[in-house]
Amino acid sequence: MLYRLNHYAGLVIAGCFFGTISTFSAVLRDNNISAFQQSFSRSFFALLYLLVFFYYKKMRFVIDLKELKYYSLLGLVMAAIGFFENTAVSIGTPVAIVVLLLYTQPVWTTIFGKIFLKERIDSVKKVAVLISFCGIFLISKVWTISSVNYGGFILSLVCGVLLSVEFIMIKELSLKPHHFLVSIFWFYMFRSIFTGVLGCISGILTDNQIVTGFTFSLSLEMWILLLLFAFIPMVLGMSLFYKSVKYVPIISVGVILLMEPLSGIVYGYIILGEGVGLFTVLGGGLILIASLLVVKR
Protein backbone atom coordinates (compact mmCIF):
# COMPACT_ATOMS: atom_id res chain seq x y z
CA MET A 1 0.00 0.00 0.00
CA LEU A 2 2.82 2.40 0.94
CA TYR A 3 4.65 1.56 -2.30
CA ARG A 4 1.49 2.37 -4.27
CA LEU A 5 0.99 5.66 -2.44
CA ASN A 6 4.58 6.66 -3.22
CA HIS A 7 3.79 6.62 -6.93
CA TYR A 8 0.60 8.63 -6.47
CA ALA A 9 2.57 11.10 -4.35
CA GLY A 10 5.17 11.26 -7.12
CA LEU A 11 2.47 12.32 -9.58
CA VAL A 12 1.12 14.95 -7.19
CA ILE A 13 4.60 16.42 -6.73
CA ALA A 14 5.22 16.25 -10.48
CA GLY A 15 1.98 18.19 -11.03
CA CYS A 16 3.18 20.82 -8.57
CA PHE A 17 6.49 21.11 -10.44
CA PHE A 18 4.60 21.40 -13.75
CA GLY A 19 2.47 24.10 -12.13
CA THR A 20 5.51 26.39 -12.01
CA ILE A 21 5.37 26.68 -15.81
CA SER A 22 2.63 29.32 -15.81
CA THR A 23 4.42 31.42 -13.17
CA PHE A 24 7.80 31.24 -14.92
CA SER A 25 6.07 32.04 -18.21
CA ALA A 26 4.29 35.08 -16.78
CA VAL A 27 7.49 36.54 -15.31
CA LEU A 28 9.44 35.91 -18.52
CA ARG A 29 6.62 37.33 -20.66
CA ASP A 30 6.57 40.49 -18.56
CA ASN A 31 10.28 40.81 -19.35
CA ASN A 32 9.56 40.56 -23.10
CA ILE A 33 10.78 37.00 -23.60
CA SER A 34 8.64 35.46 -26.31
CA ALA A 35 6.51 32.35 -26.06
CA PHE A 36 8.73 30.67 -28.67
CA GLN A 37 11.96 31.43 -26.81
CA GLN A 38 10.45 30.20 -23.56
CA SER A 39 9.26 26.95 -25.10
CA PHE A 40 12.49 26.24 -26.97
CA SER A 41 14.79 27.24 -24.11
CA ARG A 42 13.20 25.02 -21.49
CA SER A 43 13.54 21.87 -23.60
CA PHE A 44 17.01 22.82 -24.93
CA PHE A 45 18.43 23.58 -21.48
CA ALA A 46 16.82 20.39 -20.15
CA LEU A 47 18.85 18.51 -22.77
CA LEU A 48 22.03 20.18 -21.52
CA TYR A 49 21.26 19.19 -17.92
CA LEU A 50 20.76 15.59 -19.02
CA LEU A 51 23.96 15.55 -21.08
CA VAL A 52 25.93 16.74 -18.05
CA PHE A 53 24.35 13.95 -16.00
CA PHE A 54 25.18 11.32 -18.64
CA TYR A 55 28.78 12.54 -18.81
CA TYR A 56 29.18 12.54 -15.03
CA LYS A 57 27.66 9.06 -14.68
CA LYS A 58 29.40 7.80 -17.84
CA MET A 59 25.98 6.64 -19.00
CA ARG A 60 25.26 5.61 -22.58
CA PHE A 61 22.11 7.15 -24.02
CA VAL A 62 21.99 5.36 -27.37
CA ILE A 63 18.67 3.88 -28.48
CA ASP A 64 17.69 1.57 -31.31
CA LEU A 65 17.10 3.35 -34.62
CA LYS A 66 13.67 1.77 -34.96
CA GLU A 67 12.61 3.55 -31.75
CA LEU A 68 13.32 7.00 -33.16
CA LYS A 69 9.95 7.11 -34.91
CA TYR A 70 8.10 6.81 -31.59
CA TYR A 71 10.29 9.39 -29.86
CA SER A 72 9.98 11.81 -32.77
CA LEU A 73 6.19 11.47 -32.76
CA LEU A 74 6.07 12.14 -29.01
CA GLY A 75 8.38 15.13 -29.46
CA LEU A 76 6.07 16.47 -32.18
CA VAL A 77 3.02 16.05 -29.92
CA MET A 78 4.75 17.91 -27.09
CA ALA A 79 5.89 20.73 -29.39
CA ALA A 80 2.43 21.01 -30.96
CA ILE A 81 0.76 21.42 -27.56
CA GLY A 82 2.88 24.47 -26.78
CA PHE A 83 2.55 25.86 -30.30
CA PHE A 84 -1.25 25.53 -30.48
CA GLU A 85 -1.74 26.84 -26.94
CA ASN A 86 0.41 29.92 -27.58
CA THR A 87 -1.25 30.48 -30.96
CA ALA A 88 -4.74 30.28 -29.43
CA VAL A 89 -3.84 32.96 -26.89
CA SER A 90 -2.07 35.15 -29.47
CA ILE A 91 -5.10 35.25 -31.80
CA GLY A 92 -7.27 36.56 -29.00
CA THR A 93 -8.85 33.47 -27.48
CA PRO A 94 -9.80 34.19 -23.85
CA VAL A 95 -7.38 32.49 -21.48
CA ALA A 96 -10.33 30.97 -19.59
CA ILE A 97 -11.41 29.12 -22.75
CA VAL A 98 -7.86 27.91 -23.38
CA VAL A 99 -7.56 26.63 -19.80
CA LEU A 100 -10.95 24.91 -19.84
CA LEU A 101 -10.37 23.12 -23.14
CA LEU A 102 -6.72 22.24 -22.45
CA TYR A 103 -7.78 20.55 -19.22
CA THR A 104 -10.51 18.51 -20.82
CA GLN A 105 -7.48 16.17 -20.80
CA PRO A 106 -8.95 13.80 -18.12
CA VAL A 107 -11.97 13.18 -20.36
CA TRP A 108 -9.79 12.26 -23.35
CA THR A 109 -7.42 10.28 -21.15
CA THR A 110 -10.36 8.22 -19.90
CA ILE A 111 -11.53 7.53 -23.46
CA PHE A 112 -8.07 6.74 -24.85
CA GLY A 113 -7.11 4.73 -21.77
CA LYS A 114 -10.14 2.52 -22.34
CA ILE A 115 -9.47 2.14 -26.09
CA PHE A 116 -5.69 1.77 -26.23
CA LEU A 117 -4.69 0.50 -22.77
CA LYS A 118 -7.86 -1.49 -22.07
CA GLU A 119 -8.23 0.14 -18.66
CA ARG A 120 -11.37 -0.51 -16.69
CA ILE A 121 -13.55 2.55 -16.05
CA ASP A 122 -15.39 2.01 -12.79
CA SER A 123 -17.95 4.32 -11.22
CA VAL A 124 -15.39 5.97 -8.92
CA LYS A 125 -13.19 6.98 -11.87
CA LYS A 126 -16.20 8.31 -13.76
CA VAL A 127 -17.21 10.44 -10.78
CA ALA A 128 -13.63 11.64 -10.28
CA VAL A 129 -13.33 12.75 -13.92
CA LEU A 130 -16.70 14.54 -13.74
CA ILE A 131 -15.80 16.29 -10.47
CA SER A 132 -12.39 17.34 -11.79
CA PHE A 133 -13.92 18.80 -14.95
CA CYS A 134 -16.44 20.75 -12.85
CA GLY A 135 -13.48 22.08 -10.88
CA ILE A 136 -11.74 23.32 -14.02
CA PHE A 137 -15.05 24.82 -15.19
CA LEU A 138 -15.34 26.86 -11.99
CA ILE A 139 -11.68 27.94 -12.09
CA SER A 140 -11.91 29.10 -15.72
CA LYS A 141 -15.16 31.08 -15.12
CA VAL A 142 -16.07 30.76 -18.79
CA TRP A 143 -19.56 32.15 -18.16
CA THR A 144 -18.00 35.62 -17.86
CA ILE A 145 -16.85 35.54 -21.51
CA SER A 146 -18.98 37.46 -24.00
CA SER A 147 -17.43 36.24 -27.29
CA VAL A 148 -15.49 33.21 -28.52
CA ASN A 149 -12.79 32.93 -31.18
CA TYR A 150 -13.70 29.67 -32.91
CA GLY A 151 -10.23 29.15 -34.37
CA GLY A 152 -8.75 29.44 -30.90
CA PHE A 153 -11.52 27.22 -29.54
CA ILE A 154 -10.54 24.42 -31.92
CA LEU A 155 -6.81 24.83 -31.25
CA SER A 156 -7.37 24.70 -27.48
CA LEU A 157 -9.53 21.60 -27.77
CA VAL A 158 -6.83 19.94 -29.90
CA CYS A 159 -4.35 20.79 -27.12
CA GLY A 160 -6.48 18.93 -24.61
CA VAL A 161 -6.57 15.86 -26.86
CA LEU A 162 -2.82 16.02 -27.52
CA LEU A 163 -2.03 16.39 -23.81
CA SER A 164 -3.88 13.14 -23.21
CA VAL A 165 -1.97 11.50 -26.07
CA GLU A 166 1.29 12.70 -24.51
CA PHE A 167 0.45 11.08 -21.17
CA ILE A 168 -0.47 7.77 -22.81
CA MET A 169 2.65 7.72 -24.99
CA ILE A 170 4.90 8.40 -21.99
CA LYS A 171 3.18 5.64 -20.02
CA GLU A 172 3.86 3.25 -22.90
CA LEU A 173 7.52 4.33 -22.92
CA SER A 174 7.80 3.85 -19.17
CA LEU A 175 7.10 0.13 -19.64
CA LYS A 176 10.23 -0.27 -21.78
CA PRO A 177 13.63 -1.18 -20.28
CA HIS A 178 15.41 2.14 -20.99
CA HIS A 179 16.64 4.30 -18.11
CA PHE A 180 13.99 6.98 -17.63
CA LEU A 181 16.45 9.83 -18.25
CA VAL A 182 17.48 8.31 -21.59
CA SER A 183 13.86 8.29 -22.74
CA ILE A 184 13.32 11.83 -21.48
CA PHE A 185 16.45 12.98 -23.32
CA TRP A 186 15.27 11.65 -26.65
CA PHE A 187 11.74 12.98 -26.61
CA TYR A 188 13.08 16.36 -25.47
CA MET A 189 15.54 16.24 -28.36
CA PHE A 190 12.68 15.93 -30.82
CA ARG A 191 10.56 18.41 -28.88
CA SER A 192 13.33 20.98 -29.33
CA ILE A 193 13.62 20.26 -33.06
CA PHE A 194 9.89 20.49 -33.71
CA THR A 195 9.54 23.56 -31.49
CA GLY A 196 12.14 25.24 -33.71
CA VAL A 197 10.25 24.22 -36.86
CA LEU A 198 6.89 25.35 -35.52
CA GLY A 199 8.48 28.58 -34.29
CA CYS A 200 9.66 29.31 -37.83
CA ILE A 201 6.16 28.64 -39.14
CA SER A 202 4.74 30.94 -36.48
CA GLY A 203 7.24 33.62 -37.53
CA ILE A 204 5.87 33.46 -41.07
CA LEU A 205 2.27 33.73 -39.88
CA THR A 206 2.79 36.63 -37.46
CA ASP A 207 5.38 39.30 -36.70
CA ASN A 208 4.26 39.57 -33.07
CA GLN A 209 7.58 39.54 -31.20
CA ILE A 210 6.04 38.44 -27.91
CA VAL A 211 5.01 35.26 -29.75
CA THR A 212 7.91 34.56 -32.12
CA GLY A 213 10.84 36.75 -31.01
CA PHE A 214 14.25 35.40 -29.97
CA THR A 215 17.17 37.25 -28.43
CA PHE A 216 20.44 36.50 -26.66
CA SER A 217 20.51 39.99 -25.12
CA LEU A 218 19.09 39.02 -21.76
CA SER A 219 20.05 40.01 -18.26
CA LEU A 220 21.75 37.49 -15.96
CA GLU A 221 18.53 37.22 -13.96
CA MET A 222 16.56 36.21 -17.06
CA TRP A 223 19.12 33.56 -18.03
CA ILE A 224 18.91 32.14 -14.52
CA LEU A 225 15.11 32.08 -14.76
CA LEU A 226 15.30 30.24 -18.09
CA LEU A 227 17.68 27.69 -16.56
CA LEU A 228 15.34 27.17 -13.61
CA PHE A 229 12.41 27.00 -16.04
CA ALA A 230 14.15 24.02 -17.64
CA PHE A 231 15.29 22.34 -14.43
CA ILE A 232 12.19 22.45 -12.22
CA PRO A 233 9.31 21.38 -14.50
CA MET A 234 11.23 19.80 -17.37
CA VAL A 235 13.84 17.75 -15.47
CA LEU A 236 12.50 17.31 -11.93
CA GLY A 237 8.80 17.30 -12.85
CA MET A 238 9.14 15.00 -15.86
CA SER A 239 11.46 12.61 -14.01
CA LEU A 240 8.92 12.15 -11.22
CA PHE A 241 6.08 11.85 -13.72
CA TYR A 242 7.90 9.28 -15.85
CA LYS A 243 8.90 7.11 -12.89
CA SER A 244 5.40 7.19 -11.35
CA VAL A 245 3.12 6.91 -14.38
CA LYS A 246 4.27 3.32 -14.98
CA TYR A 247 2.51 2.14 -11.82
CA VAL A 248 -0.68 4.23 -11.84
CA PRO A 249 -3.75 3.70 -14.07
CA ILE A 250 -3.70 6.32 -16.82
CA ILE A 251 -7.22 7.53 -15.99
CA SER A 252 -6.10 8.27 -12.43
CA VAL A 253 -3.00 9.99 -13.84
CA GLY A 254 -5.21 12.32 -15.89
CA VAL A 255 -7.14 13.41 -12.80
CA ILE A 256 -4.12 13.80 -10.51
CA LEU A 257 -2.22 15.90 -13.07
CA LEU A 258 -4.87 18.60 -12.66
CA MET A 259 -2.65 19.51 -9.73
CA GLU A 260 -0.71 21.44 -12.38
CA PRO A 261 -3.26 24.24 -12.93
CA LEU A 262 -4.26 24.15 -9.27
CA SER A 263 -0.69 24.61 -8.02
CA GLY A 264 -0.15 27.23 -10.73
CA ILE A 265 -2.95 29.29 -9.17
CA VAL A 266 -1.31 29.00 -5.74
CA TYR A 267 2.07 30.11 -7.12
CA GLY A 268 0.40 32.98 -8.94
CA TYR A 269 -1.19 34.12 -5.69
CA ILE A 270 2.03 33.83 -3.65
CA ILE A 271 4.61 35.05 -6.18
CA LEU A 272 2.69 37.26 -8.60
CA GLY A 273 0.04 38.60 -6.23
CA GLU A 274 -2.79 37.37 -8.46
CA GLY A 275 -6.27 37.34 -6.97
CA VAL A 276 -8.04 34.15 -5.93
CA GLY A 277 -11.83 34.31 -5.92
CA LEU A 278 -14.55 32.10 -4.50
CA PHE A 279 -15.00 30.08 -7.69
CA THR A 280 -11.25 29.41 -7.85
CA VAL A 281 -11.30 28.07 -4.29
CA LEU A 282 -14.37 25.93 -4.98
CA GLY A 283 -12.90 24.61 -8.23
CA GLY A 284 -9.62 23.81 -6.52
CA GLY A 285 -11.48 21.97 -3.79
CA LEU A 286 -13.27 19.82 -6.37
CA ILE A 287 -9.95 18.92 -8.03
CA LEU A 288 -8.52 17.88 -4.67
CA ILE A 289 -11.60 15.75 -3.96
CA ALA A 290 -11.31 14.08 -7.38
CA SER A 291 -7.62 13.36 -6.78
CA LEU A 292 -8.35 11.85 -3.37
CA LEU A 293 -11.02 9.62 -4.91
CA VAL A 294 -8.61 8.05 -7.41
CA VAL A 295 -5.81 7.73 -4.84
CA LYS A 296 -8.05 5.98 -2.29
CA ARG A 297 -9.35 3.77 -5.05
What is the distance between the alpha carbons of residues 209 and 224, in angstroms, rounded to a whole number? 21
What is the distance between the alpha carbons of residues 248 and 174, in angstroms, rounded to a whole number? 11
Q: Which of 97, 142, 105, 149 is nearest to 15 (CA)?
A: 105
What is the distance between the alpha carbons of residues 296 and 160, in angstroms, rounded to a whole number? 26
Give the pTM: 0.91
Cα Rg, the chain, nearest whole Å? 19
CB 46 within 8 A of CB 183: no
pLDDT at 297: 61
Q: What angle do CA 114, 117, 118 make, to 5 degrees?
A: 50
Which DSSP string corresponds to 87-150? Answer: HHHHTT--HHHHHHHHTTHHHHHHHHHHHHS-----HHHHHHHHHHHHHHHHHHTGGG-----H
Kindly give, in sequence order, each residue whose CB lies less than 8 Å from that of residue 196, ignoring residues fewer than 6 positions away: 40
Task: Kindly give the confidence (pLDDT) of every residue in the chain, 297 residues in length, as a single tens digit, with 9 standing for 90 and above.
Answer: 545 678 999 999 999 999 998 888 888 888 988 888 999 999 999 999 999 999 999 998 888 889 999 999 999 999 999 888 877 876 767 777 788 888 899 999 999 999 988 888 888 888 999 999 999 988 888 777 776 677 888 888 999 999 999 999 999 999 888 899 999 999 999 999 999 998 888 888 777 777 788 899 999 999 999 999 999 999 999 999 999 999 999 999 999 999 998 898 888 888 888 778 888 889 889 999 998 888 766
Count: domains in the chain? 1
pLDDT at 148: 67
- Say which amino acid occupies 291: S
Domain membership of residue 250 as a residue range: 2-296
Which DSSP string corresponds to 37-92? Answer: HHHHHHHHHHHHHHHHHHHHHT------GGGHHHHHHHHHHHHHHHHHHHHHHHTT
Kindly give, in sequence order, each residue whose CB lies less than 8 Å from that of residue 216, ignoring residues fewer than 6 positions away: none
pLDDT at 170: 96
